[in-house]
């Protein structure tokens, strides 16, 4: 969805919060369950000009996660700042 929007020249910002931050973990092998691995897609975001990837610090702290466990470089922002990013958007899609 994000890649599609970006392909149509929309500015895309990706925000990760709650259990969603686990999606960034490296060394995932969803193929074991017959599922698609989205990690390569995350690595391709910059190719699609999606450079604004933010992760809520509070969600990381609650889960004891560190950014060096993630598959891509991300910007860590506070819960308040994440909310501000959402409010600044024209459209918001939740997954």
Partner 1 sequence: MLYIINKSHANSQALHDCLQRASAGDAVLLIEHAVYSALNVKQTPLLTTQHSELKIFALSPDMQARGVQQEACLEFIEYVDYQGFVELVENNSVLRSCF
Residues lying near partner 1 in the complex (CB under 8 A) are found at 18-19, 22, 25-33, 35, 59, 61-65
Sign of CA pseudo-dihedral 57, 63, 66, 69: negative
| CA distances for 84 relative to 40, 44, 81, angstroms | 29, 26, 5
Give the bridge partners for 15, in sequence order: 54
Report the nearest approach of partner 1 to the CB of residue 6 (Å).
25
Rounded to 5, what percent of the chain is helix, strand, coil?
45, 15, 40
Nearer to partner 1, 40 or 64 (CB): 64
Nearer to partner 1, 61 or 92 (CB): 61
Report the nearest approach of partner 1 to the CB of residue 11 (Å).
29
Report the nearest approach of partner 1 to the CB of residue 78 (Å).
17
Nearer to partner 1, 4 or 25 (CB): 25
């Amino acid at each position: 969805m994000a890649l599609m929007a970006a392909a149509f020249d929309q500015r895309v910002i990706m925000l990760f919060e709650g259990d969603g931050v686990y999606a960034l973990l490296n060394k995932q092998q969803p193929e074991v369950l017959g599922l698609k691995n989205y990690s390569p897609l995350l690595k391709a975001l910059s190719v699609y000009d999606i450079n604004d990837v933010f992760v809520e610090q509070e969600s990381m702290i609650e889960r004891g996660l560190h950014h060096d466990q993630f598959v891509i470089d991300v910007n860590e922002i506070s819960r308040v700042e994440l909310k501000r990013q959402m409010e600044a958007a024209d459209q918001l899609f939740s997954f």
